[in-house]
Amino acid sequence: MAIVKPFKGLRPKSENASLVTCPPYDVLNTEEAKQLAKDNPISLLHVTKPEIDLDPAINQYDDRVYEKAKENMDQFEKDGILVQDEKPIFYLYKQIMPIGDKLHAQTGLVACASVDEYEKNIIKKHELTRKDKEDDRTRHIYATMANTGPVFLVYKDRAELKKIFDEIESRQSEYDFTGNDGIRHILWLIDNPEEIKQIEKEFKAIDVMYVADGHHRSASAMRVKNMMKDTNPEHKGDEEYNFFLSVIFPASEMNIMAYNRVVKNLNGHTKEEFFKLIENKFEIKECSDEVPMPEKKHDFGMYIDHKGYIITAKADSYDEKDPVESLDASILQNNLLDPILGIKKPREDKNIDFVGGIRGNGELKKLTDSGKFVVAFALYPTSIKDLIDVADAGKIMPPKSTWFEPKLRDGMAIHLVK
């Protein structure tokens, strides 16, 4: 049973929505955030990336960073930049993104999900978290007493919910703007008590939900809940800290792009030795002077020395029945990156970097031709079915397996945990 809860959203007035809302905190580095917020004093980046308002010499995990987040958040509320809705409601959030010559649209429910269900694995994960990143979000939530950015959740499609959401989409929206990311963001308020009850009922018929993106946010929400529970002798289980901000989408509307790899050196091998070693596990076909786009699972585009190749994993190089081992990220790691290039811990190894598919294969060519990297690999995108299969098996995906687009915008509605 999936529990979803309406909440009193803290959010910008409609005329300021495009200025206040911002990209997620974890897709921008400090310098990028500083540039984006430079001429915009009401950008939520002043709350989600508060180091942009401090001396650059201050460490990003310094206590002063979290104090600044709280100070800026309090000021935004005091100045009426953020205003809280008077009663608990749901919100419907639609994103429309140009991809090539097509438009991709996805519509999700903005709601609070249950930390208890996350702990009981009714909300399933597929990634490990890093302690430093988890600590950072835990401290940020605790300092601001708010989930400023949502967790991206997915459920298996349910026709009854689509019917309700289609009806809501036919009405006047609260926000409708195109951000500096070129993505159109539309928000509707769902404040009809009967509709709220109907949505809650339909979600109760859903067995499980899945974390698509936001593993650190959800793990941090759990830690904050336990911290606040331990200091509350009258804990009942219905306090706001027992829930975390989410946008919940049907699986069929997900757009997952490839997460590509670039490598700095060949681990002491000559190019000829490198190719000879690859042949043990992959078929190699030279194809162009560009980085080729793989057209099917288990094909990889490889670019080296200004030449493009398609390399195809041989059938005996992986276990097709294992939901993790049969992922392309696993196949490349287990048969090439680790044994040939010596990259055993891709999260930590300085010889490898990762390039989100949104940047295109042209970025892989540019990075390799520049001499900074010697070889690039373009992967076929992981499917939402792959993700669900891994989560259902209780397993963990390899690092950097999925790149979801469009990204959810922070600040469409903030959930206060106190």
Residues 56-83, mean pLDDT to the nearest whole number: 97
Q: How confident is the model at residue 360 (pLDDT cuts 50, 70, 90)?
A: confident
Beta strands in 150-221 (DSSP E): 151-155, 175-178, 184-190, 209-213
Q: How confident is the model at residue 49 (pLDDT cuts 50, 70, 90)?
A: very high
* pLDDT at res. 46: 98
* pLDDT at res. 288: 87
* pLDDT at res. 87: 98
B/e letters for 79-102, b = 16+ CB within 10 Å, e = fewer, are eebbeebeeebbbbbbbbbeeeee
- The residues, ordered by sequence, that sit 6+ positions from 401 with a Cβ below 8 Å of its Cβ are 259, 327, 329, 382
Residues 118-122, mean pLDDT to the nearest whole number: 96
CA separation for the pair 138, 131 (Å, rounded): 10
- Domains annotated for the chain, with CATH where assigned, are 4-255+405-416 (no CATH), 259-380 (3.30.1760)
Taking a C-beta distance cutoff of 8 angstroms, is the pair 255, 387 a contact? no
Phi-psi region of 276 (alpha: psi -120 to 50; beta: other; left: phi over 0): alpha
Burial of 384 (0-12, 13-18, 19+ CB in 10 A): buried
Burial of 399 (0-12, 13-18, 19+ CB in 10 A): middle
CA separation for the pair 132, 295 (Å, rounded): 37
Residue 246: name the closest of 201, 223, 215 by CA: 215
* pLDDT at res. 1: 83
Q: How confident is the model at residue 359 (pLDDT cuts 50, 70, 90)?
A: confident
% of the chain exceeding 70 in pLDDT: 100
CA separation for the pair 36, 304 (Å, rounded): 35
* pLDDT at res. 78: 98
Q: What is the pLDDT of residues 267-300, one digit of tens each?
A: 999 999 999 999 999 999 999 889 999 999 999 9
Residue 221: name the closest of 125, 329, 356, 79 by CA: 125
Taking a C-beta distance cutoff of 8 angstroms, is the pair 318, 330 a contact? yes
Q: What is the pLDDT of residues 220-245, one digit of tens each?
A: 999 999 999 999 999 999 999 999 99
Strand 299-304 relative to strand 10-11: parallel, antiparallel, unpaired?
Answer: unpaired
* Token pair in block for residue 263: 């490598």
Q: How confident is the model at residue 339 (pLDDT cuts 50, 70, 90)?
A: very high
Beta strands in 172-238 (DSSP E): 175-178, 184-190, 209-213
* Token pair in block for residue 98: 């140009």
Q: Which long-range contacts link 100-106 to residues 24+ away (Cβ below 8 Å)?
A: 104/255, 104/405, 104/406, 105/253, 106/249, 106/253, 106/254, 106/255, 106/406
How far from each other are the two terminal CA atoms of the chain, in whole angstroms?
25
Q: What is the pLDDT of residues 296-326, one digit of tens each?
A: 999 999 999 999 999 999 999 999 999 999 9
- In this prediction the pTM is 0.92
* Token pair in block for residue 193: 């008590």
* pLDDT at res. 348: 86
Is pLDDT of 90 > 90? yes
Is pLDDT of 99 > 90? no
Does residue 406 have a cis bond before it (omega within 30 degrees)? yes
Taking a C-beta distance cutoff of 8 angstroms, is the pair 86, 14 a contact? no
* pLDDT at res. 357: 85
* pLDDT at res. 230: 95
More confident residue, 360 or 56: 56
> Which residues on neighbouring strands pair with residue 352, listed in sequence order?
263
Taking a C-beta distance cutoff of 8 angstroms, is the pair 82, 414 a contact? yes
Q: How confident is the model at residue 180 (pLDDT cuts 50, 70, 90)?
A: confident
